[in-house]
Amino acid sequence: MEKGALLQLPSTLRTISMSDNEFSYGDYLSDVIFLPVEHANISELFKSHIPSKYEERCEHRNESNFQEEEIKNHISSIRPNFVPLPLRLKSIVYRNCLIRYEIPAMKMSENSIEYFDGHQNMFFSLIGPLCPLDHMRYLDLSGNMCSNVSKVFFKCIGNLQILRLQNNLLGFVLPDDVNGEVLQYVPDLREINLSENRIPTLPYYFFKSQVSVRRLYLDGNLLDYLIFKIDHMKNLNFLGLSNNRFSYLDKPARDQLETVFKNNKNLSIDISGNPLKCTCDTKDFIQWMGNTKIIFNNLHFYSCRLSTDKKQNLNNPNRLYEVLQKECVSYTSLVIGLISLVGLFVSILTFGLVYRHRWRIRYMYYMVKIRYFETKQKTHERKIYRYDAFVSYESNDRSFVHGQFLRKLENDAGLKLCIHQRDFLPGRDIAENITSAIHDSRKIVVIMSPNYLNSYWCMFEYNMARVESIYSRNKENILFLVFLQQMSPRSLPLLVLELVQSQSYIEYPNDEYGDTVFWEKLKEVLT
């Protein structure tokens, strides 16, 4: 926009929608602060369109803002540390823009922002702080593939009440927050959603500042024990733990829930979709389910596995507990006696075998030690590889590999690639062919697609390449991913996500400029 254009808008304007555009930085941004708007929708920026449907008709273009090439060459310098905002602005909808961006520390003009919806972008790292945002009550940064949040990001958002961070990758960073510093500045939160973040555990004091929270969603993670502190949440009325890895709730977890229930009789929890167990070891948990007054949401979906591996419905926990109590009669003395006898027998047998073969064991020890040092010495010798790269792909994607991929990298760049349909030795075992090809290639390029994840041999190639990099290349990163299409992080295995986090990947573009950058990047990696 031209500078001054925004100032021509009427003073009665309260709501503005500017979605599906391609705004860049320019002088016009300084006029934003004078807008009288209260609600702004700037979603779906840089959205792709079919060129034939949206033809450029402007014959005279006199742009005073950054040109495209300037943005590419000075990407680090165009991130402003000051953001002008309209004084009356209360809500911003900035979703589905898919811009890969780290949110750094930013200073903002005085504003009245209460609501920000920024889901379905690619804000992969939240550094902050963003000041001032004293009026903000609602913040949604879900679906951003975010794997990092700093301890000061929420420093200037102290009045926040609803925080939605579901469908990210925060399981890589939150388990390290042992002192609860990430959420220390937002004590007034009423609702927290951390679902679908691949969180394996949360430290005990992670929620230590959240005394006012009412609804806590942790569904769809990798939790197997409830070890974080919740008994100080006196207003908690819902705890979502569905679709995790809980086999039962241990006594400390049950005691915390009962403490919360004493202060809030409306407390309900959801543990559906977990691999619950109904065995002698978990019968106290089953008894608690039958006796507690806490409400279990979706109880008709609850089931557990018996010791016989049979699936059992949990609609009636009291009846199930009676059955388990009869089956789990204590034979403690007999069990202890049998264990002692078995232990004594194993000890005598082990001692006899060690004494009989003591010289052979010593010989094996020294041989292993000698071979270890020989192998360690050889790893320092530079190896000449037969191929520049081994290309791992699924047969449904072969048209891309045998077409553009080979033409650009072999014919144009002069690289030597190993393609299984062309270079594998006939009559040789498939696994042996794969292992040999990976060992003889300097890099491994994975053409990633949904078809790839569903192929047994493709995943075999991927895992063999990981083993090669760890044990034969001194943990050198020899894997490089090429995404043929956008894929949800939920569809990717954890081992693939770890490689994505190391930024050893590139996405195949759909535009002419991106296509050139894509092939140049590949050549740079492989040469």
Query: Of 300, 327, 354, which closes a domain?
Result: 327
pLDDT in tens, 58-76: 666 555 554 555 544 444 4
Tokens representing 172 are: 């890589």
Please state the separation of Cα 247 from the chain's center in Å.
23
Q: Last residue of a domain, which of 327, 349, 376?
A: 327
Q: What is the CATH number of the domain that holds 142?
A: 3.80.10.10
pLDDT of residue 51: 63
- The CATH number of the domain holding residue 479 is 3.40.50.10140
Mean pLDDT, range 342-367, rounded to an integer? 69
DSSP 8-state secondary structure symbol assigned to residue 113: -
**Is 67 domain-assigned?**
no
Which region among 309-323, 434-448, 471-485 has the lowest average model confidence (pLDDT)?
471-485
**109 and 36, same domain (yes or no):** yes
- Determine the Cα–Cα distance for residues 204 and 180; give it in Å rounded to an integer: 8
286 shares a domain with 176: yes
In sequence order, what are the residues at sequence separation of 6 or more whose Cβ sits closer than 8 angstroms to the Cβ of residue 197?
Answer: 165, 166, 167, 168, 169, 170, 171, 174, 221
Question: Which pair of tokens denotes residue 207?
Answer: 């929620």
Yes or no: say if 82 and 33 are a contact pair by the CB < 8 Å rule. Answer: no
Residue 496 lies in a domain: yes
Residue 430 maps to a domain: yes
In DSSP terms, 312 is beta-bridged to: 304
Are 420 and 322 contained in the same domain? no
Q: What is the pLDDT of residue 24?
A: 79
Separation between Cα atoms, residue 63 and residue 67, nearest integer Å: 8
For residue 188, the 8-state DSSP code is T
* pLDDT tens per residue, range 180-203: 999 999 999 999 999 999 999 999
Is the per-residue pLDDT at 45 higher than 60?
A: yes
> At 389, is the secondary structure helix, strand, or coil?
strand
Cα distance between residue 378 and residue 321, in whole Å:
61
Domain that holds residue 301: 6-47+72-327
Assign 207 to helix, strand or coil: coil
What is the rounded end-to-end Cα distance, in angstroms, of the chain? 43
Q: Are residues 173 and 317 in the same domain?
A: yes
Burial class (CB in 10 A: 0-12, 13-18, 19+), 449: buried
Q: From CA 449, how far away is CA 45, in angstroms rounded? A: 25
Question: Is the domain of 421 the same as that of 521?
Answer: yes
Q: Are residues 399 and 521 in the same domain?
A: yes
4-8, 278-282, 316-320, 357-361: least confidently modelled range: 357-361
pLDDT tens per residue, range 8-29: 999 999 999 999 998 877 888 8
Domain identity same for 104 and 188:
yes
Q: What pairs with residue 41 in β-bridges?
A: 17, 93
Asked which of 327, 361, 378 is the last residue of a domain, the reply is: 327
> Tokens 């004594």 belong to which residue?
344
- The structure tokens 């399981």 sit at 171
Confidence at residue 76, expressed as pLDDT on a 0 to 100 scale: 44
- Reported as a pLDDT band with limits 50, 70 and 90, residue 359 is very low
Half-sphere exposure of 356 (CA within 13 A, CB side): 6
Strands of the sheet with 276-278, listed across from one edge: 276-278, 303-306, 311-313
pLDDT at 244 over 90: yes
Give the C-alpha separation, 183 to 476, whole Å. Answer: 36
User: 314 and 174 in one domain?
Assistant: yes
367 within domain boundaries: no
Cβ within 8 Å of residue 378, ≥6 positions away: none
| Adjacency order of strands within the sheet including 238-240 | 15-17, 39-41, 91-93, 115-117, 138-140, 162-164, 191-193, 215-217, 238-240, 268-270, 295-296
Per residue in 203-226, pLDDT (tens digit) is 999 999 999 999 999 999 999 999
Q: How many domains does the chain divide into? A: 2
The token duo for 440 is 């003889």
| Residue 60 forms part of a structural domain | no
Identity of residue 79: R
Q: Report if residue 12 sits inside a domain.
A: yes
357 found inside a domain: no
The predicted pLDDT at position 369 comes to 42
Query: What pLDDT, on a 0 to 100 scale, did the predictor assign at position 506?
Result: 82
What is residue 80's predicted lDDT score, i.e. its pLDDT? 54
The answer to whether residues 312 and 446 belong to one domain is no
Q: Are residues 293 and 403 in the same domain?
A: no
Q: What is the pLDDT of residue 490?
A: 79
Tell me whether residue 374 is in a domain.
no
Q: Is the dihedral of CA 465, 466, 467, 469 positive or negative?
A: positive
Q: What is the pLDDT of residue 474?
A: 76
Verify that 283 and 414 share a domain, yes or no.
no
The answer, yes or no, to whether residue 372 has pLDDT greater than 70, is no
250 half-sphere exposure, CB direction, 13 A CA radius: 6
* Per-residue model confidence (pLDDT) at position 1: 85
Q: Residue for token digits 């579901």?
A: 166
Please tell me the pTM assigned to this model. 0.61
Q: Using DSSP, state whether 325 is helix, strand or coil.
A: helix
Name the burial class of residue 351, with classes exposed (0-12), middle (13-18) and buried (19+) by CB atoms within 10 angstroms of its CB. exposed
Q: 128 with 103: CB under 8 angstroms?
A: yes
Shared-domain flag, residues 315 and 414: no
Is pLDDT of 353 > 80?
yes
- List b or e across 56-88, with b for residues whose CB sees 16 or more CB atoms inside 10 angstroms: eeeeeeeeebeeeeeeeeeeeeeeeeeeebbee
**35: exposed, middle or buried (Cβ count in 10 Å: 0-12, 13-18, 19+):** buried
Give me the torsion for CA of 92, 93, 98, 100, rounded to 10°.
20
* CB contact set of 60 (below 8 Å; sequence gap of 6+): none
Residue type at position 17: S
